[in-house]
Amino acid sequence: MKDASKNRKAALYSRLKTAIMTLELRPGADLDEAKLSEESGLSRTPLREVLRQLAGEGYVDLRENRGARVSEMSHMTLRDFFLAAPMIYGAVMQLAAKHATPAQVSALKSAQEDFKAALRTGSSADRAMANNRFHEITGEMADNIYLLPSFQRLLIDHARIGMTFYRPQDARMAENLDEASSQHDAIIAAIEAGDEAAAGQLAIEHWNLSRDQIELFVMPAGLDVPLGTVARKTPA
């Protein structure tokens, strides 16, 4: 009985996590706990345990007397995301190169193969989740109790932002995905070699690739202003 409940909890956790990161569940959406309980076969107590786990990792917000909802994304979220991402990615990759175990490197290589397979035949959601798993493993490698919660939240919003602006028929985006895959290979090599400096630099280059792609679709055509910068108004 315990095993069955544990399996149902794990399945619900995985389903909600994927739905949130791929925007099947939109930012700010209320979660119908009665419906989730019926669909998952879980009673209120184990359901709330799953929701508390998701809340602790940044996927949902738990509101007293108002239930759970998917974590919000706002203009302030985007501002903080773009400010913090390069610093956090760089620190995580450097620590990953310092602390990675052979088993973790093997897991990272396997995740990269899954990402390449998703690039060939997967959906945009498949690619997002495969890419997320690759980076989750680097966070596990970094093994830092202060960085990991911030990194986990960063990955959630990175996936959601990427899903928002993904354009499957765009040639430049396809090229960037291929380059991202090549950068993954270089990151693995740097981590396996224990080269902290190279891993940190690759993290910045990898982030810049994502940032440029996002800005391509956030920015109106012909408006050459860095994201996060407010253009000054010309006096009348």
Query: Domain map of the chain by residue range?
Result: 2-70, 75-218
Residue 171: per-residue pLDDT = 60
Residues with Cβ within 8 Å of 74's Cβ and at least 6 positions away in sequence, in order, are none
Residue 211: per-residue pLDDT = 82
**Consecutive H or E run containing 110:** helix 102-121
Q: How would you write the pLDDT of the chain (236 residues) with one tens digit per residue?
A: 567 888 999 999 999 999 999 999 999 999 999 999 999 999 989 999 999 999 999 999 998 878 899 999 888 888 898 899 999 999 999 999 999 999 999 999 999 999 999 999 988 889 999 999 999 999 999 999 999 999 999 999 999 988 876 655 566 666 778 899 999 999 999 999 999 999 999 999 999 988 877 766 554 444 344 444 444 444 44
**Consecutive H or E run containing 68:** strand 67-70
Residues 2-70, CATH architecture: Orthogonal Bundle (1.10)
Residue 63: per-residue pLDDT = 86
Residue 218: per-residue pLDDT = 55
Question: 190 and 202 in contact (C-beta within 8 Å)?
Answer: yes
Residues 75-218, CATH architecture: Up-down Bundle (1.20)
Alpha helices in 122-195 (DSSP H): 124-142, 147-165, 171-193
| Dist. CA 22–CA 31, nearest whole Å | 16
